Amino acid sequence: MTKEEFLAKYNKAQFKKVVGLGGFNFDYLLGDYFQQFEDVIVESLGERDLQLHRAAKEALRTIYRDLIERNPDTLFILKHHPGVWQEELTELYQLDKYENTVVIRGKEENIADVINASDIWIAYNSTTVMEAWLLGKQTMFVNPEGGDFKRSSISKGSPIKTTFHETQVAIDKFYALAEIPSFKELEGNREQAMNEIIGWDDGKNHMRAGDYIYDLFIDNKKKHKTIDSFVLKRLFKTFVRNLIFKTGLIKLSPFAKKYKDSLEFNKRFDPAEREAEHQKYLRYLKEFYARNNIQFEN
């Protein structure tokens, strides 16, 4: 979706400046989710980082609120993390009450559309910044407690701001000079991160994967066949789960409790929605092939 299409859809065409704010799952560290999975979260993050994130949430919310209030001529897109459990525990809570905001929850919009409609993309800690790079957008992180915590190499590709003033200055300079301060100097870090994570940024990874799979299929060498016990267990569990869903036993205890998460997971990925996305990507793949003189075959 273009910036103009997005603004028209949400009746915000009067705005010329659009800043995207990508949400972090702070609620995982503060609410019901944390109570259920405390051991796993503490083991994954460590006590130090856990407390740092908790301390940063409200400070970040204050910075975002000040940005929204002091830049009434700028539209801020508030994109909640798609896995949010308790919105009231996030840094974007109640910031949608302002005229110069649009809030996006769950699967309401494709993340690529949201990023593409933004002039710049800001986050606390998110892999969406790499998607923004691929769409030609400049990015930065806002980390009120500092950025020294466990995170992926993606974090090295964006400048880090810690205060409202630093963030405001960076936004102002972007709109004045078309450049977030220090963003250009981190280009090598972005290239390294993309190389480590996806290998290439030319849009042809699906073709490389296809070539590899094709080579396996036409390889006539006899291979020793083994049956992995893990695969058998997964197949059996999937069969049992599907049987419970199909027969309606999911509504009965203890099945209801045991398979609650699986049921919610299935709701998140509807086959019809998947097919709609498939058709959308197919359209753009064909355009991509045409631009790159690649012969397309069904």
pLDDT tens digits along 167-220:
999 999 999 999 999 999 999 999 999 999 998 888 899 899 999 999 888 887
E runs forming strands in 23-99: 74-79
Burial of residue 201 (number of CB atoms within 10 Å: 0-12, 13-18, 19+): middle
Report the alpha-carbon distance of residue 261 to residue 267 in Å, rounded.
10
Q: Which of 87, 90, 33, 83 lies closest to 60 in space, CA to CA?
A: 90
Strand partners, 22: 79, 123
Report the alpha-carbon distance of residue 241 to residue 261 in Å, rounded.
12
Where do you find CATH 3.40.50.2000 in the chain? Answer: 3-197
For residue 124, the model assigns a pLDDT of 98
Architecture of domain 3-197: 3-Layer(aba) Sandwich (3.40)
| Residue 77 Ramachandran class (φ > 0 left, ψ -120 to 50 alpha, else beta) | beta
Report the alpha-carbon distance of residue 24 to residue 62 in Å, rounded.
15
For residue 256, the model assigns a pLDDT of 62
Read off the pLDDT of residues 225-255 as tens digits, 9 standing for 90 and up: 777 888 888 888 888 877 777 787 766 666 6
Chain centroid to CA 295: 31
- In angstroms, the Cα distances linking 166 to 57, 142, 157 are 18, 9, 18
E runs forming strands in 62-152: 74-79, 101-104, 120-123, 138-142
Q: What is the mean pLDDT of residues 48-73?
A: 97
Cα maximum dimension of the chain: 69
